[in-house]
Amino acid sequence: MSANLFDLLASRFPADRSAPCFILPDGNQISYGALESAAARVAARLVADGVRPGDRVALQAEKSPEVIMVYLGVLMAGAVFVPLNAAYTRSEVDYFLGDAEPKIFITDPPAFVRETEGHDMLARAIPREAGDLASLIYTSGTTGRSKGAMLSHGNLAENALALHAAWGFTPRDVLLHALPVFHVHGLFVALHCALLSGAPIIWLPKFTDADVLAGLQRSTVMMGVPTFYTRLLANPAFNADAARNIRLFISGSAPLLPSTFAEFEQRTGQRILERYGMSEAVIITTNPLEGDRIAGSVGFPLPGVELRTDGEAGVIQIRGPSVFSAYWRMPEKTAAEFTIDGFFITGDVGRVDPDGRVWISGRAKDLIISGGYNVYPKEVELVLDELPGITESAVIGLPHPDFGEAVAAICTGQGEEAAIIAAARLQLAAYKAPKRVIFVPDLPRNAMGKVQKNLLRETYAGLFQP
């Protein structure tokens, strides 16, 4: 039997193919049948254009339902989907195209799909083995060259089935989708859960308060990055009534502040379910659907996932059905990031508590070494975030003539620098407390809500220089 992911997804589409798949902001709908036939036409066009199984098809475009038609068409054709962040510049795109060497690069999916109208469709998906490559996802690459994580049909299928079960999806669900689709969160996690349920998707081109507030009225599940939740909480119109219809709010891609979790519960009576994942493995752990969702913990490993921490450094290592096989054309990097017994070294630092819950305390690469002492930024951030006046902090290491690196905190909110440093010193060893505290209106974030510490390190590189 073929392990083509398309076949699994299509086997769960509603028997009545006129049922809606995408519900668009203008009220128009695209049915499951329309999605399926568009994918089959795209696949036929790709094959006619010379795309063979294993060939890459790259896409860089704004979010639209046609991106998904192309994605499914690429799967059907047995090719490899390479989505690129719409924000990448020309020179960044040149790097990705040079690395992935796609047969075809699509920049206007609506036109690409339109041109297939009236043409033949591929009768069935080209058979694939579970280990065959389905997608190359380039990591956000905050240090060094961005790497292409190779995800197979089996990786994606196993993760999709596990999430569908863990989060209790049924055909009665309606998914609110406001995430970008060049990243695993919007493309695989959210989309696959809905498609496996044959459920409708409220499809928003991006997050806007007005669209999301309206969409919540008609949805049952929302998936978002933490910024979605802080933005909702900043809007006085968001209250228990606005959230009434939703059975499950899910957060991931960046840490959800315990204060956001608490404020959300206070405002709506609902506890956000936080999960943890990455391009290299899609979702790894999740808080439970039934049972306690604990602020600050990312929950338990999904069934089949083995998770351990390397004793000394506390770096999380994982092995399991959704873990990628290799970085595209980077055998040395791949070898360096897997252990001898086949665990992927995630680079996230964390611990597993006696109940089996996983707690993440930061990224190994963000580790600050100040005067020879190791400082984990997360530990400092947790202290600062509790101080009155500070909304959120990002702790970074900056070049320092004496200490090598010195700890600096870039914060939102307000406060007096000397008082904050003094308050931090009461709770932290002197070498961990920030030597400078700088307030900014907003922390720079990427599209997935992650604070871009590399930008902060660049901006403030000279802070401690004489």
Q: From the CB of 255, what's the least distance to ligand AMP, in Å?
A: 4
Nearer to ligand AMP, 87 or 237 (CB): 87
Tell me if 215 contacts ligand AMP by CB under 6 A: no
Local structure of 148: helix, strand or coil: strand
- CB-wise, 160 or 423, nearer to ligand AMP? 160
Q: Are 249 and 229 in contact (CB under 8 A)?
A: yes
DSSP labels, 169-199: --TT--EEE-S-SSSHIIIIIIHHHHHHHT-
Piece of the chain touching ligand AMP by CB under 6 A; list 61-69, 74-82, 116-124, 274-282: 274-282
Distance (Å, rounded) from C-alpha 196 to C-alpha 203?
Answer: 16
Q: Which contiguous run of DSSP H or E holds residue 11?
A: helix 5-11
Give the sign of the dihedral formed by CA 200, CA 283, CA 69, CA 48: negative
Residue 237: count other Cβ atoms within 10 Å of its Cβ: 10
According to the binding rule CB under 6 A, does residue 253 interact with ligand AMP?
A: yes
Query: Is residue 364 within the footprint of ligand AMP (CB under 6 A)?
Result: no
Which CB atom, from 9 or from 184, has the smaller least distance to ligand AMP?
184
In whole angstroms, what is the distance from residue 3 CA to residue 133 CA? Answer: 11
Residue with token string 């696959």: 192
* Closer residue to ligand AMP in complex, CB, 32/327: 327
Q: Is 270 in the site for ligand AMP (CB under 6 A)?
A: no
Q: Which stretch binds ligand AMP (CB under 6 A): 26-34, 270-278, 331-339, 457-465?
A: 270-278
Residues 428-457 interacting with ligand AMP (rule: CB under 6 A): 448
Nearer to ligand AMP, 128 or 363 (CB): 363
Q: At closest approach, how far in Å is the CB of 90 from ligand AMP?
A: 22
Helix (H, G, I), strand (E, B), or coil: what is residue 270?
coil
Confirm or reject binding of residue 279 to ligand AMP (CB under 6 A).
yes
Best CA proximity match to 39, nearest among 149, 153, 195: 195
**Taking the alpha carbons of 413, 419, 424, 426 in that order, is the dihedral positive or negative?**
negative
Is 274 a binding residue for ligand AMP by CB under 6 A? The answer is yes
The correct pick among 192, 363, 453, 457 for binding ligand AMP (CB under 6 A) is 363
Asked if residue 140 binds ligand AMP (CB under 6 A), the reply is yes
Note whether 407 and 370 are within 8 A (CB).
Answer: yes
Q: Which of residues 161-180 bind ligand AMP (CB under 6 A)?
A: none
> Which residues are at the interface with ligand AMP (CB under 6 A)?
139-140, 184, 252-255, 274, 276-279, 298, 346, 348, 360, 363, 448
